[in-house]
Amino acid sequence: MNNTLVYLHSHASDSLRKLANHEHVIRFINQLEANPQTVGDYRQPDPRGRMIEVKLLGRQAVLFFSDPYANIVKVLDIRHVEAR
């Protein structure tokens, strides 16, 4: 049994509510709960030195990090990404 909690920051929650097609993002968030060691497509350190994972899902980027000691995954933001 996995006791990992996935926490959505208010920015991420607001962005998720605004998405017209959010099923793929919700599936990914559920995947984070099932597998908290999930890695993103890119990584970037935050000012505290934590590695922020960036997962690209179509035109959305999900920014999150895992805290294995607290048994939590925090979804910090969901951003719209433009193609280049």
The CATH number that applies at residue 52 is 3.30.2310.20
The domain containing residue 73 runs over which residues?
5-80
Alpha helices in the chain (DSSP H): 10-18, 23-34
pLDDT of residue 82: 83
Rg (CA), the chain: 12
pLDDT of residue 21: 86
In the chain (84 residues long), the average pLDDT of successive 10-residue segments reads 86 92 93 93 94 95 93 95 75
Q: Are 78 and 14 in contact, with CB atoms under 8 Å apart?
A: no
Q: Quick check: helix, strand or coil at residue 77?
A: strand
For the chain, the domain total comes to 1
pLDDT of residue 39: 94
- The residues near 50 (Cβ < 8 Å, ≥ 6 apart) are 65
How do beta strands 72-80 and 5-8 pair?
parallel
